[in-house]
Amino acid sequence: MEKKHLGKIFRIESKDYYVWDANGNEIRCNLPGKFKNELRIKKNKLFTLDYVVVGDDVEFVRNNDGSGVIKKVCERKNCLSRKALKSRAVLNRGERVEQIIASNVNNLFIIASILEPPINNRIIDRIIVAGESNKINVNIVINKIDLLKQKEQVEFWKNFYENIGYSVFITSAIKGIGIENIKNKTQDSVNIFWGPSGVGKSSLLNAMFALDLKVNEISQYSQKGVHTTVTCSMIKINKDTFVIDTPGIREIAPYGIKKEDLGYYFKEFIPFIKNCRFNTCTHSDEPDCAIVEAVENNFINLLRYESYINILNTIEQDMYF
Ligand SMILES: Nc1nc2c(ncn2[C@@H]2O[C@H](COP(=O)(O)OP(=O)(O)OP(=O)(O)O)[C@@H](O)[C@H]2O)c(=O)[nH]1
Ligand SMILES: [Mg+2]
Ligand SMILES: [Zn+2]
């Protein structure tokens, strides 16, 4: 019998899967095609990256040359995913497939910038749903505050998300503002930084931990949306602290959520939901909806409700069979 080793995937580059073994050594592994076939189930060939993702615990065997072969992916405690982009997904009865970003994470830091690109609460709310639906602790970071002359706007969004119950960090990676606060929150956890392109995810991680992640050299934010970080990678900060830098996203649609469950991922809705007349209420056009009533009475912010409706309308009910 070949000796099996336990490892953790920390980076994937095309067909190379980089694993830390129990002693923290970096081992380049590959994933046998046969193994991929077993895992394929309903998925498109293009989704090789999803069979094994950053954060996965795996079993592997060693080759004589020091490289490894992955034999098993251990059960995931959780994973962060989204609906795959249309261009990557094979259409099977019209539904799109899941793209898993990373697994076994504790904290999701949703990174936004106040300007360049301007903050977009719809995108933040979509990423919140991805985190909440996978039971990942959600935090919000508003970066680039050095670009803002008037501070009211950033105070508005800070209060907005704090009132819902999220921790909000106001930062400038360039000026070193707010870096210690966010750093403290990452201790002894696996933390993923996710958000639109160009908001400063890699810059923040560099400022927090004196890293050397690639950062966009053109300081002027370009509407063309270049992606500086192209692959997800996990970095070990100390024995129990890890951070994951991700490529920026342009669009995000939650995956695998039923219309009648979406309200539970807007956490300020939860206390009201039980008062809806129907327990399958989607809080849109049903009679006696407690969420609609709470919006009318200003217990729930209209902007959040609009975000909710916006996501609800993109959920394809026929995905479930
Ligand atoms: N003014 C200002 N610029 C910043 C700040 N943080 C990052 N930037 C700039 O914003 C640009 C994008 O930063 P990145 O760190 O590459 O952004 P990212 O989110 O990692 O982008 P992707 O990897 O493409 O997803 C770079 O030119 C940074 O110098 C900040 O706090 N203030
Ligand atoms: Mg980056
Ligand atoms: Zn309702």
Pocket test for ligand 1, best of 215, 231, 232 (most atoms within 8 A of CB): 215
Q: Are 236 and 224 in contact (CB under 8 A)?
A: no
CATH number at residue 164: 3.40.50.300
Question: How large is the angle between the packed helices 302-312 and 121-132, nearest 10 degrees?
Answer: 70
In this structure, the answer to whether residues 11 and 53 fall within a common structural domain is yes
The DSSP code for 271 is: H
* Residue that finishes a domain, picked among 195, 215, 245: 245
Q: Are 92 and 42 in contact (CB under 8 A)?
A: yes
Domain ranges, residue 42? 5-76
Is 66 inside a domain boundary? yes
Torsion of CA 253, 256, 258, 261, to 10 degrees: -90
In this structure, the answer to whether residues 239 and 139 fall within a common structural domain is yes
Which ligand is nearest to the Cα of residue 179, counting in written order? Answer: 1
Residue 61's beta-bridge partner residues? Answer: 69
Question: Tell me: the pLDDT tens digits for 237-252?
Answer: 999 999 999 999 888 8
pLDDT tens, N- to C-terminus, the chain (321 residues): 789 999 999 999 988 999 999 999 999 999 987 776 666 544 443 343 467 899 999 999 999 999 999 998 898 999 998 887 665 544 444 455 778 899 999 999 999 999 999 999 999 999 999 999 999 999 999 999 999 988 889 999 999 999 999 999 999 999 999 999 999 999 999 999 999 999 999 999 999 999 999 998 876 665 555 678 888 999 999 999 999 999 998 888 888 889 999 999 999 999 999 999 999 999 999 999 999 999 999 999 999 999 999 999 988 754 443
Q: Which residue bears the tokens 């962060």?
A: 80
In this structure, the answer to whether residues 111 and 241 fall within a common structural domain is yes
The kind and range of the H/E element at 286 are none
Q: What's the rounded Cα separation, in Å, for the pair 80 and 131? A: 7
pLDDT of 68: 97
Task: Report the nearest atom of ligand 1 relative to the CA of 197.
Answer: 25
pLDDT of 32: 86
* Number of Cβ within a 10 Å radius of residue 6: 14
* Residue that finishes a domain, picked among 217, 245, 273: 245
The finding on whether 263 has its CB within 6 A of some atom of ligand 1 is: no
* Residue that finishes a domain, picked among 199, 215, 245: 245
In this structure, the answer to whether residues 237 and 110 fall within a common structural domain is yes
Q: Which residue bears the tokens 């300081």?
A: 219
Please give the angle made by the CA atoms of 165, 167 and 173, to the nearest 5 degrees: 155
The finding on whether 248 has its CB within 6 A of some atom of ligand 1 is: yes
Q: Find the 193 Cα to ligand 2 centroid distance in Å.
A: 9
Query: Cα–chain-centroid distance for residue 102?
Result: 8
In this structure, the answer to whether residues 164 and 284 fall within a common structural domain is no
In this structure, the answer to whether residues 228 and 124 fall within a common structural domain is yes
pLDDT of 222: 59
Q: Are 186 and 169 in contact (CB under 8 A)?
A: no
The finding on whether 198 has its CB within 6 A of some atom of ligand 1 is: yes
In this structure, the answer to whether residues 225 and 158 fall within a common structural domain is yes
Q: Find the 279 Cα to ligand 1 centroid distance in Å.
A: 44
CATH number at residue 304: 1.10.40.50
Of the candidates 82, 73, 75, the residue with the CA atom closest to the CA atom of residue 108? 82
In this structure, the answer to whether residues 278 and 236 fall within a common structural domain is no
The finding on whether 227 has its CB within 6 A of some atom of ligand 1 is: yes
Domain count for the chain: 3
The finding on whether 216 has its CB within 6 A of some atom of ligand 1 is: yes
Q: What's the rounded Cα separation, in Å, for the pair 111 and 229? A: 14
Kindly list the protein residues that place their beta carbon closer than 5 angstroms to ligand 2, a single-atom ion.
201-202, 228-229
Question: H helices of the chain, where?
Answer: 33-40, 48-51, 121-132, 152-164, 179-185, 201-209, 270-273, 290-296, 302-312
pLDDT of 39: 60
Is 208 inside a domain boundary? yes
Q: 1 vs 6, 58, 61, 74, CA distance in Å?
A: 16, 18, 10, 20
In this structure, the answer to whether residues 240 and 267 fall within a common structural domain is no
Q: What's the rounded Cα separation, in Å, for the pair 128 and 249? A: 14
Of the candidates 209, 188, 310, the residue with the CA atom closest to the CA atom of residue 252? 310
* Number of Cβ within a 10 Å radius of residue 109: 26
CATH number at residue 62: 2.40.50.140
In this structure, the answer to whether residues 120 and 212 fall within a common structural domain is yes
Q: Give me the numbers of helices (H) and strands (E) for the chain, helices first please.
A: 9, 13
The finding on whether 229 has its CB within 6 A of some atom of ligand 1 is: yes
Is 113 inside a domain boundary? yes
Residue 262 is encoded by which pair of tokens?
A: 């979406």
Torsion of CA 133, 136, 137, 139, to 10 degrees: -80
Q: Are 10 and 57 in contact (CB under 8 A)?
A: no
Q: What's the rounded Cα separation, in Å, for the pair 12 and 85? A: 19
The DSSP code for 237 is: E
pLDDT of 82: 87
Is 300 inside a domain boundary? yes
Is 85 inside a domain boundary? no
